[in-house]
């Protein structure tokens, strides 16, 4: 009966190319305990785990789809919805908080028109508050993908948003 579900899901998300997932699965297929690396690899490729990909992985690895969903929801590293090209993370840990992280967060909300753990409709930005980025000396701290921005100010938020608005999506 789960085949019916797979069929419906295909109709909703017609653009997913499963051959990309197949390439990831082929890399790990013979390794015991391959579910995590396959899911991580698939997320690297698609940016998130679409349902058809989860179902496809379930079929190829012979793991229950429910079990895959359990893993996907247990670890916060996995995402079930499309994510922005640029992931903005602002630290709200103790050190950043006393240095005024709240204002930095609010300014991002204003500029990006999205809230915590949300993605902009054009898939450019995803914003996240995080507990600690491990660089308290640079507080208040923000990260965009792998770039780090220390000693953040409201002005710097505007600069960052202006900068990333210019960058190409592809």
Contact 81, 117 (CB under 8 A): no
Judged by CB under 8 A, the stretch of 2-10, 33-41, 99-107, 126-134 that binds another protein is: 2-10
The reply to whether 51 sits near another protein by the rule CB under 8 A is yes
Which positions from 76 through 105 interact with another protein, judged by CB under 8 A? 80
CA distance 54 to 68: 7
Judged by CB under 8 A, the stretch of 64-72, 83-91, 137-145, 161-169 that binds another protein is: 64-72
The reply to whether 145 sits near another protein by the rule CB under 8 A is no
The reply to whether 68 sits near another protein by the rule CB under 8 A is yes
- Residues found near another protein in the complex (CB under 8 A): 1-5, 7, 51, 54-55, 58-59, 62, 64-70, 73-74, 80
């Amino acid at each position: 009966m789960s085949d019916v579900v797979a069929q419906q899901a295909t109709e909703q998300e017609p653009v997913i190319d499963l051959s990309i997932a197949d390439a990831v699965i082929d890399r790990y297929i013979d390794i015991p305990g391959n579910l995590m690396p396959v899911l991580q690899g698939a997320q690297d490729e698609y940016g998130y785990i679409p349902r058809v990909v989860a179902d496809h992985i379930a079929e190829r690895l012979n793991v229950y789809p429910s079990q895959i969903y359990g893993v996907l929801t247990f670890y916060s590293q996995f995402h079930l919805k499309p994510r922005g090209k640029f992931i903005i993370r602002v630290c709200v840990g103790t050190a950043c908080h006393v240095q005024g992280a709240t204002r930095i967060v609010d300014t991002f909300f204003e500029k990006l028109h999205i809230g915590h753990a949300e993605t902009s409709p054009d898939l450019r930005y995803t914003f996240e508050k995080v507990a600690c980025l491990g660089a308290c000396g640079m507080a208040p701290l923000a990260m965009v993908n792998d770039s780090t921005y220390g000693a953040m100010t409201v002005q710097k938020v505007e600069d960052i948003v202006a900068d990333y608005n210019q960058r190409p999506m592809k």
